[in-house]
Amino acid sequence: MSIIPGIKRRIDRLEIITASDLASLPLFLKRWSQVEIEIGSGNGHFLAQYARNQASKGLLGIELKAKRCRKIQKKISALRLGNVLIFHGNANQLLTCLYPGSIDAFHIYFPDPWPKTKQRKRRFIKQPLLKKLYLLLKPSGRIYFASDVYDYFLQVRLLALADGRFSCFNNSLPPEAELSLYAQKTYQHGQDLFTVTLIKKTDQELELK
């Protein structure tokens, strides 16, 4: 697919992109030796601060709500960051455009917990997604996850154990993850924060199983 000049300008200017711009996504990705993605960036508190502290990395934020995308863009502009691109749309739309073994880390903080038993099938993290993220990660790539719902945290750990291709570590998130609105609300209400980091095993580690 050819790259449309107007889309290229949006990528170059780090403007908010949508599904129709994804053909030009490699223009952004190839600028960075390390690329990390936040799925569900909310209002951008984590993403903006993390991008400022990790200026050598390319950061992609995925957010479904247009108003939140605009809030993130304002934070990025205020900090004059040149390493963040915001995608307004469904995460699966962007994930299908990525090459295998091209991403260093995924950040997934406080996804909708769907706490009722009959609602759990609607949760974002399920076995097919975990398999997709595994393929997109580089060797030793990471998935950072946080939730204030213990059941969701446990589900993610169990899915990773069932998959068998990840190592699991608790309490190992980037410190900026605590800056998100949901993290702050969790602490203010005296609730527990449940975190896990999944690390993709290398081929050598898998051979030792």
Catalytic annotation, residues: 112
Largest CA-CA distance found in the chain, in angstroms, rounded: 52
Give Cβ neighbours of residue 86 (< 8 Å, ≥ 6 apart).
16, 17, 41, 60, 61, 63, 69, 72, 73, 76
Residue 5 CB coordination number (10 Å): 9
On whether the CB atoms of residues 103 and 141 are closer than 8 A, the answer is yes
Distance CA 82, CA 77 (A): 9
On whether the CB atoms of residues 127 and 198 are closer than 8 A, the answer is no
CA–chain centroid gap for 182, Å, is: 16
Q: Is 99 helix (H, G, I), strand (E, B) or coil?
A: coil
In the chain, which ranges are continuous DSSP H helix?
Answer: 5-12, 25-29, 45-53, 66-79, 91-95, 127-136, 150-163, 181-188, 203-207
Residue for token pair 């993709």: 200
